Structure 1
């Protein structure tokens, strides 16, 4: 590694990584602060554009050069705009785990050098990897990048920063000059996070929202992994089609909410039908939001407020993390004079979930588990999960093929 002061005096070795031939300044950046992970809290912003839906159609990208497999190529993503790469990035900086999950899905999980709460998400992701033969990831001890330090970014020397520069500006410690300095001397910014809940950008800043899989397709193009993306997108399309057929045959939809009532006096609740990729695993099921329009995702209620909403199904966000004791969560609700009145408790429908900032592979697992948790008659019973890795379902009960997904992540598949 080269110390930051020395690096700033050099001609950058990444001059071939450009934003349409210019630096980041001007109208490139747009953003607003939002949730950092399933433990971070912040208020919602007003939605700026309609929900484009969870389509797997990739956004338009531009490729330049005589050979599509070599030479410079350009990929566009809001809010960074057009970024020209000389070759696929190797070292990858991330902040939020939807971006780390995209790198993971492309077989680049071990190339990630930073992420928010790395030890937490290392443990959570590795609740799912045991069901993917030959796939593993090690994120322990990485740089925790929720509030990234510019000097550390110089030290990390990343080929690409899969992070939303607009969000960094909103944190208050970064200005456009700082972002330009990193982009010009280290590696480009290439990430979109305000699509999480369609948060409104500041006045005068342009911004485009993407579904999880739309953005994944664009990131895959940046890594020259179009075939791997299309293979995973096909699995996702097939799973959504299966879900749609099952949901259409249901006469009555339950109501649901995402929460983890470990503290009955302060329960953070999340809606299941909000626009954005945080609900990519719940919105396709067309269930009713237990919390109406007077509540926003991330609001806190007490146990009486939860009972007032009284969801038929309660999704325990982060409940699959090894530090969460789902058996104790259920027992505490049963022992509580108000908690035991919850319909979800009485019907034994308090279920563990994983992460809202999910990558594509976790999205597949969470779509499967949500299907079984909501509609067991249509998709099969969900095991009464208490702890340990994602349940090992028999092949006939699986809604997608684990080996097929694992082979794509490993890069061992027919394009």
Structure 2
């Protein structure tokens, strides 16, 4: 992989830390701002909704802008949103900063995905995507648990300040690693939007949304599972987050080596195992001996399946070179927005309710994937159609 792809992953790490960090901060944040935990969980959905709306909108507006300048501008906006979030006493203002940060993240990721895909061979898009998502999974290994620990020691606001500081080296990496080129001159925007009519593209976007809805729904409310269902102390929350993040990194790395050539095998093997894992957790998360190893396994399986599906979006949208990244980002974050909302409704059944919601969402994805399995025959199909 070219060095600029890894430098883009550094920035994705900073943004991924912010996107996932609330999973370890919700109880304290909710208590400080005087809102229920379920209401605080909507901050994750607010971020994801901003990503869904922002990805195609900002990609369309910025498609002719110089990539490096655009990426730096989005990082600056992201930093500013976290500074405001760190000092506000209002839940409404914090909610708004999450939407703004999400727009900045959406614009950055949409352009970064397109830029990374352009830096590699046409049949290596899955590997390039895996490197970028590797920044996200490292965030779940180091950034999110570190943020949870920082929040436990110094309060949730300290985590927001830490994310703002992370943007500085990320910006330097983009500035020094990416060439200062002019904007991309691709097909007309109407032509790129027309690819959204393709059933194959809509299928993989829908499947990616369902799988990621399950992942985000369960992950957002993992703290109550650790402390209430399993009966562990608060300091065990970062441990579970580290295990989930380490599994995520393992899963996305393995999928990156397989999703270009054998996407069907990844879905056929990892998909049913992911469903089984959520069911087992729903039944036996009360036992730490079950919760801890399955946190790793579910992270690996969820990101292996999810990243493979998102890579397929890039292949199926190959005729939309400036918008493909936004379609992939939107598919990922439709799930990230819907998952916590759906999971919040299941909290009335207990802390393990979101685990069962995740199982139901993955089951729906697998049922839809069976009649559409030809889309996973090989990565080359999208290149030769």
> Fold-level match, TM-score > 0.5?
no
Higher helix proportion: 2
Q: Point out which structure has higher relative CO (alpha carbons under 8 A, 6+ apart).
A: 2
Larger radius of gyration: 1
- Structure 1 length-normalised TM: 0.30
Between structures 1 and 2, the one with greater strand share? 1
TM-score (norm 2): 0.32
